[in-house]
Chain A
Amino acid sequence: MIRVALPYHLRRLADVGSEVTLNVAPPVTQRAVLDALEERYPMLRGTIRDHTSGKRRAFLRFFACEQDLSLDSPDTPLPEAVVSGAEPFCIIGAIAGG
């Protein structure tokens, strides 16, 4: 099971707790995790990745295992600790704005 930690406003939008768990078939990548997340919670479509470009929204970052994975290719396999569920894949809102 993949653990995904969502920022506060997306938790409220999807009506979930601080983490959601997803079944994601290998290879487990950013794209696969986000596809599974949006499939389970359709209201999140467009809020993490732009509808038109499919790219990460500018004021969001992806962290896991104390690393910033935001600039990795969406098809790069995620760290084993994320794949095993030992660590969450974290979607973080930038501190800018508000």
Chain B
Amino acid sequence: MSGVRVLVGTRKGAFILTSDGKREKWEVSGPHFGGWEIYHINGSPADPNRLYASQSSGWFGQIIQRSDDGGKTWEAVGNEFAYEGETGTHQWYDGTPHPWEFKRVWHFEPSLIDPDTVYAGVEDAALFKSTDGGKSWQELPGLRQHGSGPRWQPGAGGMCLHTIMLDPSNPERIYIAISAAGAFRSDDGGQTWKPINRGLKSEYIPDPDAEVGHCVHRIAMHPSRPNVLFMQKHWDIMRSDDAGDTWREVSGNLPTDFGFPIAVHAHEPETIYVVPIKSDSEHYPPEGKLRVYRSRSGGNEWEPLTNGLPQSNCYVNVLRDAMAVDSLDSGGIYFGTTGGQVYASADSGDHWTAIVRDLPPVVSVEVQTLP
């Protein structure tokens, strides 16, 4: 019988939650790497037992862990991330130039076809690639050296490259997003990049519709339609139907269009999910009600999903990498909170259950659908 494995990164370790296809009873494994920040764990689509985990701490820096058995055992692999060539400067919080410095890996995106090939999005923003299972890492410097780097600036969480999406229909096409620079696309396997931010408007930068400088929180796409992108920006939900060349706002009737994650249903390319957050300085749900909003029309018309979620006195946040979907027949949706809960719905969001509820603050959630 098929099943799911939920990979949870938290501020103090990793947890692996497993269930069969019914998704009613869960086993919790962990903490793995207790005491360390686990920004992300992700599995290879080509070999689900191959996992990569980003383990870091303020004391000891960055460790990369690899598992070849679905998270039962782990091996520390390469952790040297050296920028290529002249590192240059980006903007600091106060607007002054600041040199690029590696801090941590925010996101792994394993290749769709090769378990040993994996991309890493890092802070300060850059894209790295390994082709030997994480033993060594090489920067794809064309992104950082795009020319707009001196205008990039850190968001509150740091200047992170947090989203990497590989186009399943075009192995040369990669999308990435940086907070706060914006979205970029490569059509040559990561060698060269172009900003894809036309249509975004951000009042917190001097030129609200500038080519770069936008605080993109997350991008999502459905693998069957890789030219259709959905974005949760610092404010605004955006949609592109032309691979990011142009964007239009689809916030519609949301109570607030601030938030962090955005996800697309595994079987319904026009069904998308967001978790509205009150504001950029009040990182909790409006009215103390934790509501996922679902649009079945690709944006603009949204409905609140509340069944099983706390509807009073709830002041958690849901971070950008902390929502994911499974691809079982009855599509599952998952998200983790800064309060340590991981909520799951096995029916596209109609009903929710906390499958674990007292973890350290959740940073990331990924889901593997197992055969």
Contacts and interface: CB of A to CB of B under 8 A. Distances in A.
Interface of A: 7-10, 13, 43, 45-48, 50-52, 57, 59-60, 93-94, 97
A95 B89 CA distance: 31
B79 A57 contact: no
A47 B80 contact: no
Nearest to A7: B59
Contacts of B80: 45-46, 51
Question: Chain B contact residues: over half helix, strand or loop, or mixed?
Answer: loop
A8 B57 CA distance: 13
Given A13-B60, A46-B62, A46-B80, 10 more contacts: A7-B59, A9-B57, A45-B80, A46-B79, A47-B61, A51-B79, A52-B82, A59-B58, A60-B60, A93-B59
B59 A94 contact: yes
Interface of B: 35-36, 57-63, 76, 79-82, 102
B177 to A, nearest CB: 25
A77 B57 CA distance: 30
Contacts of A52: 82, 102
Contacts of A51: 61, 79-82
Contacts of A93: 59-60
> Which of B36, B60, B81, B102 gathers the greatest number of chain A CB atoms within 10 Å?
B60
B76 A57 contact: no
A22 B61 CA distance: 24
Nearest to A97: B58
Contacts of A46: 61-63, 79-80
A53 B88 CA distance: 16
Given A51-B79, A51-B82, A52-B82, A9 B36 contact: yes
Contacts, number: 45
Contacts of B102: 52
Contacts of B63: 13, 43, 46-47
A95 B6 CA distance: 33
A2 B38 CA distance: 33
Nearest to A96: B58
Contacts of B82: 51-52
Given A43-B63, A46-B62, A47-B60, A9 B35 contact: yes
The 8 closest A-B pairs by CB, nearest first: A43-B76, A47-B60, A59-B59, A97-B58, A51-B80, A93-B59, A46-B79, A46-B61
Contacts of A48: 60
8 contacts: A8-B35, A13-B63, A43-B63, A46-B63, A46-B80, A47-B61, A52-B82, A59-B59
A13 B76 contact: yes
Given A9-B35, A9-B36, A60 B76 contact: no
